[in-house]
Chain A
Amino acid sequence: MSASPASTAATKMQRLLAMVPWIASHGGPTVAEVCARFDLTPAELAADLEVMWLVGLPPYTPDALIDVVQEGDRVWIHFADVFDAPQRLTPEQAVALLTAGASVLALPGTDPDGALARGVAKLAAVLGVDADQVLDVDLGGAGAEVLDVLRAGIVAHRRVHLDYYSYGRDARTERDVDPYVVHAEDGSLYLLGHCHLAGGERRFRVDRIAAATLLDETFEDPGRPPEVAVFQPDATDPRVTVDLDPAAAWVAEAHPVESIESRPDGRIRVTLAVAAEPWLARLLLGLGPQAEVVAGPEELARAGARAAARILARYG
C-alpha cells in the first residue's frame, strides 16, 4: 500500500517534530545513530535537516533561526528551544504501544520486573494512567514452565518432549517435537513444529501441553515455518451428513464442508469429513438440539448421542 502524498508529508513533519528535540538534546549524535533511530537513509536525513535551516521564530534573522550543523559524521542542532520536547502521543499511538507492551508482559515467562515492565510503567505514568489498571491483554493461557521450555527450544533449535492432550481425540499422548514457533491467535497460543510421532508439521495448543522437557537433540533452522492448517480432510476419512438449524449455520464457515444444501424446512444440510470420532462427538454435543445427523456410517452417526449418554451417566 503506498501512502498518499498528504500522509507522507504529515509523516515527515511528525518525524521532524520528534527528531529535532532528540538531536538537540544529545550533543552531536552520529548520523548513523540518528538514521537508525528515526528510520531514515543519510540522504533523507540531509533533506529533512535542510528544511530546518529556515525554521525559527520572528524576526527570522540568522540568530533567531534554528541552527543545524553537520560536520563529518555527526550532527548538532542548537537554538531549538521552541521544539525542546516531542509532541504528546495521540490516543492511537498510546493504545498501540501499551497494548504491545501489555501483551508481551502477559506472556508467561516474561520478566515482570524487566526492561519492558519498567518501560511500560514509565510510559503509562506520562500518560497519566496505571497500565495494570486500564489495559489488560490476554493472548492465551499457558503454563509458565511449559512456555519457557518451548521458547528455549525454539531459540536454541532443540527438540522438546511433550505430554499433550489431544482435544480432537480426547487422549493424552507423549511425543517429541522440533519446535518452530509459538504464535498467538484468537485468544490461544499455538506451537508450530515438526511432530516425530505424526511424522509431519503439526500445530499444538500450548494450554493443552501438560508438561514439556528440553531434549539434547538439535534440529536445523526451519527458516520460516509453513502455516500448518488445523485440519486437512483426508480422502479416506468417513463422511457424515448433518442438518443444521439456522442458529448453527456457523458450522459451515468454521469447518471444511464438502457439500452444502438448503432444506425446505429452513435448515441447511452439510457433509463433513470426520478424522476422529471424538471431534464429531464434541461438535454434536455443542450443537445439542440445533443439529441432527441424517446420514453416515452407523457408529459415527450415533457418536453425539453416545457421548451425551456417557456424560448423562454421571448425572444419574
Chain B
Amino acid sequence: MSSQKLERLLNLTALLLDARVPLPAERIQEQLDYPEDRAAFRRAFERDKEELRIMGLPLRVERVPGSLPAVDGYRIPREEYALRDPGLTTDELAALHLAASAVQVEGLPTTEGLLKLGGLVGEGGPELGVQVAPLPADPNLARLFGAVSTRTPVRVRYHGEERVIDPYRLEFQRGRWYLTGYDHLRDEERNYRLDRVEGEVILSDLPPFTPPSTSVPGRARGAWELGGEAPVIARVRIGGPQAQWALQHVGPDHVVETTGDGAVVIELPVTNRSAFRSFVLSFLEHAEVLAPPELRDDLVAWLRAVR
C-alpha cells in the first residue's frame, strides 16, 4: 500500500467515524482522493471497504435517511469502534506484556492487542523462570471466545450432529482446548473438545443467553471426566508414597479419607472409563479401585488380558 493509499484509508476511517448519518458513496468520492471515473471509483472504494473489514473495523451499511429510492450509506459507529480505556497502569501493562511473551497461542499474535492497550512496556523477557511451548490454536477458538463474550448461542457440528450451544467457557487442559456450554438439544451442560468440532462454528441469530448465576467450576478436570458416558462415582485408594502425587492431579476436594500410613481414598466422577483406567493403572499396585463393582470388575478383566 502506498502512503497515499494509507492516507486515504485513514481519512476514510476518520470520515466514517465522524459521520452522524450514513454517508452515500458519492459524498465519500467527493471528499476523498478517489478517481473521478465512476467505475474506477467503485473498484477502489470496494477494495478500501474490504481492507477496513479485514482490519476488524465495524463498517456499517445502512439506508441514507430520507433517500428515495433507497440509497446505501456507510458509517463506523463510534460506540462499536472505540475501545473503552481499561485504565491499565504501567506495571499492569508490563505484566501483560511479560505474560504474552511467555505464553503464545499458535497463529494468534499478541502485539496488535498490546499496542491498542498502550504499547509494549517493560521487557518481554524470560524472568518468569518458566517457558511455555506455544499452545495449539484451534480454527474456532477466536470465534467461540467472541461468542462467549457476547453471550451468543452458536451452531456446532459435533459427532455428526448439529447442536445449538450457549458457550459458557473455554478451557485449555492437557494440551487441548475444550468448550463448556449448555446444549439445547440435550438440555444440559456439556464439554466439547474443540478439535472434534466438525467445520466452522456459526454464530446464531438467537437472542443472547444468560450465563449461569452459580459459577461454573473453575478447576482443572481430570481426563476421566472428559467423556460422554453415563456418570458414575468411583472410589480409589492410593498408597502413601503415591498419595501426594495423586492429590496434585485431582485436588484435595476429592479426598474422602486419609489413613494413618499416609494413604488416601478419593472419589472421582467418571464419564470416561478408559481414561479412568489409565489413571488408576499409572499408580501400578499402589492404587485400588474400591467401588463401584462395575469399574472394579472392568479393571480386573483388563488386567487378566495383559499378556
Q: Is there contact, CB below 8 Å, between B142 and A92?
A: yes
Q: How many residues of B contact A (CB 8 A)?
A: 108
Which residue among A16, A52, A87, A282 has the maximum number of chain B CB atoms within 10 Å of its CB?
A87
Q: Is there contact, CB below 8 Å, between B249 and A93?
A: no
Q: Is there contact, CB below 8 Å, between B284 and A281?
A: yes
Q: Is there contact, CB below 8 Å, between B149 and A207?
A: no
Binds A, one of B63-71, B154-162, B298-306: B298-306
Within 8 A of B (CB), among A236-286: 278, 281-282, 284-286
Distance A47 CA – B135 CA, assembled complex (angstroms): 36
Within 8 A of B (CB), among A205-235: 207-208, 210
Q: Is there contact, CB below 8 Å, between B14 and A9?
A: no
Distance A6 CA – B281 CA, assembled complex (angstroms): 54
Q: Name A312's contact: one of B3, B282, B303 (CB within 8 Å).
A: B303
Known A100-B100, A123-B88, A127-B149: A51·B6 in contact at CB below 8 Å: yes
B248 interface residue, CB < 8 Å from A?
yes
Q: Is there contact, CB below 8 Å, between B129 and A96?
A: no
Q: Name A51's contact: one of B7, B112, B119, B135 (CB within 8 Å).
A: B7
Which residue among A47, A172, A308 has the maximum number of chain B CB atoms within 10 Å of its CB?
A308
Known A51-B3, A87-B56, A187-B175: A96·B83 in contact at CB below 8 Å: no
Known A138-B173, A282-B281: A9·B6 in contact at CB below 8 Å: yes
A197 interface residue, CB < 8 Å from B?
no
Q: Is there contact, CB below 8 Å, between A207 and B82?
A: no
Give, as a whole number of angstroms, the nearest-CB distance from B207 to chain A. Answer: 16
Q: What 1/0 flags go to B76-100 for Cβ under 8 Å of A?
A: 0000111111111101111110111
Which residue of chain A has the shortest Cβ distance to B1 in the bound complex? A9
- Complex contacts, B105 vs chain A, CB 8 Å: 95-96, 99-100
Q: Is there contact, CB below 8 Å, between A207 and B245?
A: yes
B17 interface residue, CB < 8 Å from A?
yes
Q: Name A90's contact: one of B10, B142, B248, B284 (CB within 8 Å).
A: B142
Distance A98 CA – B100 CA, assembled complex (angstroms): 9
Known A51-B7, A95-B108, A187-B175: A134·B149 in contact at CB below 8 Å: yes
Within 8 A of A (CB), among B29-76: 31, 51, 54-57
Give, as a whole number of angstroms, the nearest-CB distance from B119 to chain A. Answer: 3
Known A96-B113, A184-B131: A125·B86 in contact at CB below 8 Å: yes
- Complex contacts, A189 vs chain B, CB 8 Å: 130
Q: Name A315's contact: one of B1, B56, B135, B300 (CB within 8 Å).
A: B300
A44 interface residue, CB < 8 Å from B?
no
Q: Is there contact, CB below 8 Å, between B171 and A136?
A: yes
A82 interface residue, CB < 8 Å from B?
yes
Distance A291 CA – B305 CA, assembled complex (angstroms): 9
Q: Is there contact, CB below 8 Å, between A58 and B307?
A: no
Q: Is there contact, CB below 8 Å, between B10 and A13?
A: yes
Q: Is there contact, CB below 8 Å, between B142 and A87?
A: no
A43 interface residue, CB < 8 Å from B?
no
Q: Is there contact, CB below 8 Å, between A97 and B100?
A: yes
Distance A87 CA – B79 CA, assembled complex (angstroms): 10
Which residue of chain A has the shortest Cβ distance to B180 in the bound complex? A136
A24 interface residue, CB < 8 Å from B?
no
B244 interface residue, CB < 8 Å from A?
yes
Nearest 3 CB-CB pairs, A to B? Answer: A37-B119, A9-B1, A93-B113
Chain B residues packing against A (C-beta within 8 Å): 1, 3, 5-7, 9-11, 13-15, 17-18, 31, 51, 54-57, 80-89, 91-96, 98-100, 102-105, 108-121, 126-133, 135, 141-143, 145-146, 148-150, 168-176, 211, 215-216, 218, 220, 241-242, 244-245, 248-249, 278, 281-282, 284-285, 288, 296, 299-300, 302-307
Q: Give 21 CB contacts A-B under 8 Å.
A: A6-B1, A14-B55, A14-B112, A16-B6, A52-B10, A88-B56, A92-B108, A99-B135, A100-B102, A103-B135, A104-B99, A133-B169, A172-B241, A185-B175, A285-B284, A288-B302, A288-B305, A289-B306, A310-B285, A312-B304, A314-B285
Chain A residues packing against B (C-beta within 8 Å): 5-6, 8-19, 22, 36-39, 47, 50-52, 54-58, 60, 82-101, 103-105, 107, 114-116, 118-120, 122-123, 125-129, 132-139, 141-143, 150-151, 154-155, 165, 167, 170, 172, 181-187, 189, 207-208, 210, 278, 281-282, 284-289, 291-293, 304-305, 307-308, 310-315
